[in-house]
Amino acid sequence: MFTGIVEEKGVIRLVRHGAKSSELTIGAKKVLDDINIGDSISANGVCLTVTSFGHDYFTVDVMPETIRQTSLSALKTGSAVNLERALRLSDRLGGHLVSGHIDGAGKVSKVWQEDNAMWINITADQSILKYIVKRGSVAVDGVSLTVPLVNDCSFSVSVIPHTKQATTLTDKKTGDLVNIECDVIAKYVEKLSLGNRSASNIDLEFLKKNDFYE
């Protein structure tokens, strides 16, 4: 589990491609503190397991399903990535609960500046957008952000100067793919509310019966 507060930007040193999988070697500093083989590190929002490490790098395996569902396949030598170590129970939860399990990739459709804020508009599939709500939380490439605007085909996030400088979001441009993880609470609420029912079967009587309405 992560918080979406990026600790540092790492750099891809080497990409070894298999038939459908990859092995990444990532240069880093801060996240290597007290590192062990088997630890979880979020790279651009994707939870990956450390398979080996040295004084200034670590390696991870990327399985075929992760390649299919995320933007990691676009990484190459020299690419910057957002890195975060797994959350300790004693840590402050500065962002929101992020699992590192990506819901899918979105595409940057527009980037613009408003005073000190950098705005990014991201188009995504309906399977993702249905979980994104105005003023809710979303993780974009592993960065915990608030959603000021959302519509039927996209959502926008506003990035403060510190986040812009501390993450790879400063490099985003139109057409870039980004990893999106929706707030996990929304998915659990949907599952528990619907069960085997379709959305069309949720009515006032159903809400009253399940203590959602008085």
Whether residue 184 sits in one domain with residue 132: yes
Query: Does 130 fall in a domain?
Result: yes
pTM greater than the 0.85 cutoff: yes
Query: Does 176 fall in a domain?
Result: yes
At 211 the pLDDT is 65
At 185 the pLDDT is 84
> Where residue 68 sits, what CATH number does that domain have?
2.40.30.20
Query: Does 207 fall in a domain?
Result: no
Per-residue pLDDT of the chain (214 residues; tens, 9 = 90+): 999 999 999 999 999 999 999 999 999 999 999 999 999 999 999 999 999 999 999 999 999 999 999 999 999 999 999 999 999 888 888 889 899 999 999 999 999 999 999 999 999 999 999 999 999 999 999 999 999 999 999 999 999 999 999 999 999 999 999 999 998 888 888 888 776 555 556 566 766 676 655 5
DSSP secondary structure string for all residues of 140-179? ETTEEEE-SEE-SSEEEEEE-HHHHHHSGGGG--TT-EEE
| 64 touches 20 (CB < 8 A) | yes
At 212 the pLDDT is 58
Query: Does 77 fall in a domain?
Result: yes
Q: Please count the CA atoms within 13 angstroms of the CA of 13 that sit on its side-chain side.
A: 12
Query: Does 75 fall in a domain?
Result: yes
Whether residue 177 sits in one domain with residue 117: yes
At 206 the pLDDT is 66
Q: How many domains does the chain have?
A: 2
What domain range includes position 113? Answer: 104-189
Query: Nearest Cα to 47, choosing from 8, 99, 103, 105?
Result: 99
